[in-house]
Amino acid sequence: MSLFMLALFIGSLAAADASGVWSLRLLTNTGESAARATVTLKQDGETLAGTCAIDQVDQELTITGQVKDNTLTWRCVGKESFEASFKGSIDSTGRQMTGEWATQSTARGTFKGSRPPK
């Protein structure tokens, strides 16, 4: 029985699996709706890669980032000098994420995201 409990504890310490398609709702620091984004993440160990499509940005962006425990950090970079950075945490269900975003200009705020069950 104690080995079972130890296995559960160790399993709970493992990094969240962030792979999948996430729908994000971005809000500005003043609480106004900024945009929606669709983020497709591929996780390999602690490394994130993928693509990002943000409303009002007419280009597909490439993602690079990392996962540490349940915290994700990534950058969305486009060919036309657009860049946005994100830092978020996945909840215990593995289907919800919240965090902060910022662009290379002064735009910044928070986001809430979700993905369908696997």
Q: With beta carbons less than 8 A apart as the criterion, state whether 71 and 89 touch.
A: yes
Q: With beta carbons less than 8 A apart as the criterion, state whether 76 and 84 touch.
A: yes
Beta bridge mates, 48: 43, 65
Please name each of the domains of the chain with its CATH number: 2-114 (2.40.128.30)
Q: What is the DSSP secondary-structure string of 35-63?
A: EEEEEEEEEETTEEEEEEEETT--S-EEE
Comparing 13 with 113, the larger pLDDT belongs to 113
- Classify each residue of 33-48 as buried b or exposed e, where b means 16 or more C-beta atoms within 10 Å of its C-beta: ebbebebbbebeeeeb
Q: What is the pLDDT of residues 90-116, one digit of tens each?
A: 999 999 999 999 998 888 999 999 998
pLDDT of residue 1: 44
Is residue 10 over pLDDT 50? no
